[in-house]
Amino acid sequence: MSVADKVLAVNNDLPIRTQRPVHSGKVRSVYWLTEADSRRLIQEKGYNVAPEAPLAIMVISDRLSAFDCIWHGEGGLNGVPGKGAALNAISNHWFQLFREQGLADSHILDIPHPFVWIVQKARPVMIEAICRQYITGSMWRAYSQGEREFCGIQLPDGLHKDQKLPELLITPSTKGILKGLPGVPEADDVNITRRNIEDNYAAFNFRSPDDIAQYETLLREGFELISAALAKLDQVFVDTKFEFGYVTDAQGEEKLIYMDEVGTPDSSRIWDGAQYRAGQVVENSKEGFRQQLLSHFPDPDILLNKARMAEREALARDNALPASMLMEVSRTYADIAEKITGRPLDLSENPKAEIISVLREQYGLIDG
């Protein structure tokens, strides 16, 4: 079996019993279970959710997304070996730590396979919450061109690229397109201020204005917990994205939880500590691949300029990257996953067959 055969590139064609279309994102696909299967699993497995809660199977893939496009490599390499397992293992590790430390629960109820989560339906907060401890990336690009205000926060003059910020910054952006909110552009992923959120808390799906402070507390506590754990591994937690939502537990209590993924090389920047102290940034996250893409193509503006999205999509579709680039990403993800979890990464020989087998035999979710 070739390396390409071990990659789970397509994850929206599994024969999981569902009555709704499969929702396929850049990396994950979501299969909503039937009402009968949701109720049965809640009862059989004793999940701490309302008896009528809708459940879903979330299957991660090995697809590689960057600059809002999916990239592929030579030799039929349509993803990165081990990437999906690494992302799930890292998220699982942090979510468990958050629960143990009393921060908040996540949307994950069960982990049948390294590629699979059973999740409960949450009412999402319509914010991508970014925490930044260092000035780099898009913030540095804007700062170096004279911008000093970010999401209503004023930064001082005299900061240098990649330096630690005076304090942890929360720089939220919209998740999806929100219409009719004064001062908030009708576009996905645009920066917003805390005042924007306060003035329109219900439109962002917050239950009450008080929950804005709770979400900020969970952001800071989550960031600080991951940062402290990574520091023990001599890794620098630079910035990250969190997402939140509301669920109802078995006792009927509605609560704010962490969603999506946390502290992964896809959603965060992680730097090697020893190299950073020596004055060099070595990425242990997807940022390294993004930088390679910018160097690989003669016109990097296509990757940075949202107005050139059609050209960017053509670039990703029509160019098979050197296999070595994707294998380097594979090593980065496997290494950081094993550092964080302290365990070897569980790699599948045939992930699709394994997933079908476990969901049929242990969960009764596949006919035949």
What pLDDT is attached to residue 330?
Answer: 95
What pLDDT is attached to residue 263?
Answer: 97
Contact between 26 and 33 (Cβ < 8 Å): no
Token pair listed for 201: 């808390």
Contact between 81 and 75 (Cβ < 8 Å): no
| Beta strand spans in 173-234 (E) | 173-174
CA distance 59 to 41: 17
Nearest-5° angle of CA 126, CA 127, CA 129? 160
What pLDDT is attached to residue 347?
Answer: 82
Q: Which residues pair with 154 in a beta bridge?
A: 149
Residue 317 three-state SS: helix
Question: pTM of the prediction?
Answer: 0.94
Token pair listed for 205: 């799906």
Return the CATH architecture of domain 4-122+340-361. 2-Layer Sandwich (3.30)
Q: Spell out the domain ranges in the chain.
A: 4-122+340-361, 125-277
CA distance 346 to 348: 7
What pLDDT is attached to residue 189?
Answer: 85
Residue 29 three-state SS: strand
The domain covering 125-277 belongs, at the CATH homologous superfamily level, to ATP-grasp fold, B domain (3.30.470.20)
Token pair listed for 216: 């900020």
What pLDDT is attached to residue 237?
Answer: 98
Strands 123-124, 127-134: pairing kind:
unpaired
What pLDDT is attached to residue 133?
Answer: 98
Contact between 94 and 262 (Cβ < 8 Å): yes
What pLDDT is attached to residue 303?
Answer: 96
Task: Report mean pLDDT in 10-residue bins for the chain, 368 residues.
Answer: 81 96 94 97 96 96 96 95 96 97 96 97 94 95 94 94 96 90 87 93 95 96 98 97 95 94 95 96 93 96 94 97 96 96 89 95 92
